[in-house]
């Protein structure tokens, strides 16, 4: 790709960035200082304050034309106007605007502001709020640029059977998670429909061989994938997939891909692409958040004259103003699930009583995978009761998604939640970024997220594409110091409407009271979960909770209470001496030290075996427990209750194919984090890992 050249379907005159730039400069002189960023950002930021789904209005565009030199092109705001000067191919425009296709009319801010720049070939860093159409912002001009490339056989455009060799790959999109890669591919195929352009995916957890065969048979112009699988495919000469003519690289959720966890893979992928001094490469980065820490990496990756399109004002939290965000203090960690049930029930009951509310469709985010499982299991147990089925909650879909599920189950959960009218998705951070589930009314974050960016991206799963939504953060009172330090300024207001959040669950509740009804249901639901799942949830939270409280001791006490009172378990999980040492814990902190023999003996350890709490015969720790020499629960779990074995193939991606073996986790962060739940670093299989997190057998994280 030659910068600034006129392409076949390109503009008839060179498009320059002077138009928006000069506006930016002019506006900058008129705005108060804090509103005057140095890039294209000022214009967009000003607009976004006044619109629910940030778009540049026609009037604004006209004003822009007036303000700028008459010979320079105006920003285009309507998709249909992209036909002007053949800027975008008619087929692409039709795919976007036709009512029986995507049915979109007006471009969003980020789409308007980046389109010309991308078609022109500039490197871009684009920052825009969650749910404002960044995917189309990079897909439309990128697909157009492939069509514009004279070396792509455009005579086949419009013939669906057009075949290309794998080496025809012109653009690569890297996504941190498998689901997001698949979602982008679905969108790309819609945009490219009928153009002859071929879109393929390469994501971990799917059959590598089948994916390769598809690329080889059908060809590929645009490849979308997760870092691990892309790296494997491009580095392995036997795959026959290379990209010698590739000239566009896109990092979606760029800040995530540039953080320590993914950066080595992304760098390696770049090194496998053609030398940019020989084949000019345009690099595009998109995200809602661009924390300062990654700017250095951004600068190293983009050309020095890259454009920074920023639709988020510098003093602004990149969440939507129209999303009410509520903070609920819970008395104990065990109060979160009752509070979640109460929130859902209250909403559905109000709806059933005639209030005009959309059906309750929520994502509940947890900080460890094991918590998503125990919570989803408990709610599913509750949903089996006839009382629940006959209530306003009766039609709720209760789904679980995390990196420990097989990819087939992950995809099924995501698809079912997409289709669900009402329901709750119990999720780890695999869905926190980019996922576009329609009509999510509530995002509930349980426990403080690992960082501010995670909070923002999780919240961004609601109030997308101009819709309304609510954000809730449930946290233990003792987490408030860390909350303030870690998340900084956020527009949360305290909410005390959920009675069960503050109830003392060590008490007995009568079913005659509203709070009692909620609490008792959750207690029963949890009682039917198996003991091993609860132990895993405890272990998963060890890493997260100790990082969220002021002292480890306080955290362990809260966790122990959750385990005994909330989970109704009799005796605490035993931590191996090695794990305790690794965590810097001692008995005084309130943990139970041992070698797992009690768990083995008891086959789990439910207080109320009669209430179905323990399904000891199903294994739990009993099959593996702690093997002592291998380090606490984690290794025992590998072999039995924690069933890490099942995780191996699924998380390693390629290991299933037998070519690498072993499984990988994001140990390179030197933390509790396992790659899968922040993204699919687990797709990688080559990096040796043996980090703290392994001791937990879970995707929990540490700070
Ligand atoms: N111009 C538009 N008009 C109306 N809807 C749009 C437009 N562009 C995109 N959308 C829709 O808005 C939703 C959000 O878009 P998208 O997923 O690209 O957001 P995003 O900015 O990438 O969000 P995130 O930061 O969470 O990744 C999608 O359902 C998409 O189809």
What are residue 201's phi and psi, to 5 degrees?
A: -120, 155
Separation of alpha carbons 326 and 494, rounded Å: 6
pLDDT of residue 158: 42
134 lines ligand 1 (CB under 6 A): yes
Percentage of the chain surpassing pLDDT 90?
A: 60
460 lines ligand 1 (CB under 6 A): yes
Quote the radius of gyration of the chain (alpha carbons, Å). 26
Residue with CA at minimum distance from ligand 1 atom 8: 133
- β-pair partners for 78: 106
Q: Give every CB contact of residue 173 below 8 A, 6+ residues apart in sequence.
A: 138, 181, 184, 188, 222, 223, 224, 225, 250, 252
Where residue 475 falls among pLDDT bands split at 50, 70, 90?
A: very high
Over range 420-448, report the average pLDDT: 97
Instruction: Write down the ipTM of this complex.
Output: 0.99
What are residue 191's phi and psi, to 5 degrees?
A: -70, -35
Position 592 pLDDT exceeds 80? no
- β-pair partners for 669: none
Position 159 pLDDT exceeds 70? no
Separation of alpha carbons 349 and 343, rounded Å: 10
Q: Which among 247, 83, 249, 221 is positioned nearest to 153, based on CA atoms?
A: 221
Position 653 pLDDT exceeds 80? no
Position 615 pLDDT exceeds 90? no
pLDDT of residue 610: 29
For residues 657 and 489, the model is more confident at 489
208 lines ligand 1 (CB under 6 A): no
In contact, 162 and 196? CB cutoff 8 Å: yes
Q: What pTM was estimated for this model as a whole?
A: 0.80
How does pLDDT run across 231-249, given as a tens digit for each residue? Answer: 999 999 888 888 999 999 9
Separation of alpha carbons 414 and 362, rounded Å: 13
Tell me which of 57, 114, 132 to substitute to probe ligand 1's pocket, judged by most ligand atoms within 8 Å of the beta carbon. 132
What's the token pair of residue 556? 């362990």
78 lines ligand 1 (CB under 6 A): no
Atom of ligand 1 nearest to the CA of 135: 18
How many Cβ atoms sit within 10 Å of the Cβ of residue 47? 18
Percentage of the chain surpassing pLDDT 70?
A: 71
Residue with CA at minimum distance from ligand 1 atom 7: 133
| Cα torsion angle, 686, 691, 693, 697, sign | positive
Give 143 Cα–ligand 1 centroid separation in angstroms. Answer: 17
Give 189 Cα–ligand 1 centroid separation in angstroms. Answer: 15
Give 135 Cα–ligand 1 centroid separation in angstroms. Answer: 6
How does pLDDT run across 308-362, given as a tens digit for each residue? Answer: 999 988 777 777 677 999 999 999 999 999 999 999 999 999 999 999 999 999 9
Separation of alpha carbons 635 and 642, rounded Å: 8
Give 38 Cα–ligand 1 centroid separation in angstroms. Answer: 26
Over range 154-174, report the average pLDDT: 67
Position 422 pLDDT exceeds 50? yes
Poorest-confidence range of 334-338, 594-598, 608-612? 608-612
256 lines ligand 1 (CB under 6 A): no
Atom of ligand 1 nearest to the CA of 107: 1
pLDDT of residue 155: 59
Poorest-confidence range of 241-245, 531-535, 553-557, 663-667? 663-667
Give 133 Cα–ligand 1 centroid separation in angstroms. Answer: 3
465 lines ligand 1 (CB under 6 A): yes
Position 97 pLDDT exceeds 50? yes
pLDDT of residue 64: 37
Q: Measured between alpha carbons, how far is residue 672 from residues 83, 197, 539, 687 in Å?
A: 51, 42, 11, 16
Phi-psi region of 354 (alpha: psi -120 to 50; beta: other; left: phi over 0): left
What's the token pair of residue 30? 């008129």
How does pLDDT run across 485-528, given as a tens digit for each residue? Answer: 999 989 999 999 999 999 999 999 999 999 999 999 999 999 99
288 lines ligand 1 (CB under 6 A): yes
Tell me which of 135, 439, 443 to substitute to probe ligand 1's pocket, judged by most ligand atoms within 8 Å of the beta carbon. 135
pLDDT of residue 240: 85
What's the token pair of residue 459? 């919240």
């Amino acid at each position: 790709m030659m910068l600034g050249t006129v392409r076949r379907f390109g503009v008839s005159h060179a498009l320059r960035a002077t138009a928006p730039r000069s506006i930016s400069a002019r506006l900058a002189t008129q705005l108060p200082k804090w509103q005057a960023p140095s890039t294209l950002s000022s214009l967009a930021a000003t607009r976004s304050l006044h619109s629910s789904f940030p778009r540049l209005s026609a009037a604004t565009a006209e004003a822009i034309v007036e303000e700028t030199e008459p010979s320079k092109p105006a920003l285009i705001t309507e998709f249909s106007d992209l036909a002007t000067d053949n800027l975008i191919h008619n087929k692409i425009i039709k795919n976007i605007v036709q009512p029986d296709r995507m049915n979109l009319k007006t471009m969003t801010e980020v789409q308007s502001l980046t389109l010309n720049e991308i078609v022109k070939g500039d490197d871009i860093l684009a920052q825009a709020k969650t749910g404002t159409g960044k995917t189309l912002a990079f897909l439309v001009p990128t697909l157009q640029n492939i069509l514009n490339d004279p070396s792509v056989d455009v005579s086949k455009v419009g013939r669906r059977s057009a075949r290309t060799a794998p080496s025809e790959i012109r653009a690569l999109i890297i996504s941190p998670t498998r689901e997001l890669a698949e979602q982008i591919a679905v969108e790309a195929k819609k945009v490219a429909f009928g153009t002859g352009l071929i879109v393929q995916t390469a994501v971990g957890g799917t059959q590598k061989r089948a994916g390769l065969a598809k690329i080889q048979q059908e060809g590929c112009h645009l490849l979308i994938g997760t870092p691990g699988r892309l790296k494997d495919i491009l580095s392995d000469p036997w795959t026959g997939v290379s990209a010698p003519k590739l000239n566009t690289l896109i990092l979606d959720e760029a800040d995530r891909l540039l953080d320590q966890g993914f950066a080595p893979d992304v760098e390696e992928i770049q090194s496998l692409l053609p030398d940019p001094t020989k084949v000019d490469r345009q690099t595009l980065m998109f995200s809602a958040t661009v924390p300062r820490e990654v700017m250095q990496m951004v600068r190293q990756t983009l050309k020095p004259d890259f454009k920074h399109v920023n639709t988020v004002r510098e003093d602004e939290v990149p969440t939507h103003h129209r999303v009410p965000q509520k903070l609920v203090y819970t008395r104990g960690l065990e109060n979160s699930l009752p509070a979640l049930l109460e929130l859902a029930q209250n909403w559905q009951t109000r709806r059933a009583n005639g209030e005009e509310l959309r059906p309750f469709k929520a994502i509940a985010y947890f900080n460890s995978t094991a918590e998503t499982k125990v919570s989803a299991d408990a709610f599913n147990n509750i949903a089996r009761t006839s009382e629940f089925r006959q209530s306003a909650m009766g039609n709720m879909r209760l789904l679980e998604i995390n990196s420990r599920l097989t990819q087939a189950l992950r995809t099924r959960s995501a698809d079912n939640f997409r289709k669900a009218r009402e329901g709750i998705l119990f999720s780890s951070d695999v869905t926190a970024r980019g996922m576009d589930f329609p009509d999510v009314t509530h995002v509930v974050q349980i426990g403080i997220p690992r960082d501010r960016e995670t909070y923002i991206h999780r919240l961004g799963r609601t109030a997308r594409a101009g819709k309304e939504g609510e954000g809730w953060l449930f946290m233990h009172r003792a987490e408030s110091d860390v909350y303030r330090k870690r998340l900084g300024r956020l527009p949360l207001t305290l909410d005390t409407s959920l009675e069960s959040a503050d109830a003392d669950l060590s008490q007995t509740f009568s079913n005659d009271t509203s709070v009692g009804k909620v609490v008792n249901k959750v207690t029963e639901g949890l009682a039917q979960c198996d003991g091993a799942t609860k132990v895993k949830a405890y272990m998963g939270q060890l890493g997260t909770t100790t990082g969220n409280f002021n002292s480890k001791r306080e955290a362990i006490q809260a966790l122990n209470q959750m385990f005994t009172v909330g989970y109704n378990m009799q005796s605490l999980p035993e931590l191996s001496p090695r794990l305790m040492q690794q965590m810097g814990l001692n008995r005084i902190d309130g943990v139970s030290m041992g070698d797992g023999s009690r768990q083995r003996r008891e086959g789990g350890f439910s207080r109320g075996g009669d209430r179905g709490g323990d399904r000891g015969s199903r294994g739990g720790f009993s099959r593996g427990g702690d093997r002592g020499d291998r380090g606490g629960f984690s290794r025992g779990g590998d072999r039995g209750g924690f069933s890490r074995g099942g995780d191996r193939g699924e998380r390693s991606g390629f290991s299933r194919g037998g070519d690498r073996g072993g499984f990988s986790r994001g140990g390179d962060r030197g933390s509790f984090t396992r790659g899968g739940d922040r993204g699919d670093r687990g797709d990688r299989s080559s990096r040796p890992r043996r980090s703290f997190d392994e001791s937990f057998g879970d995707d929990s994280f540490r700070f």
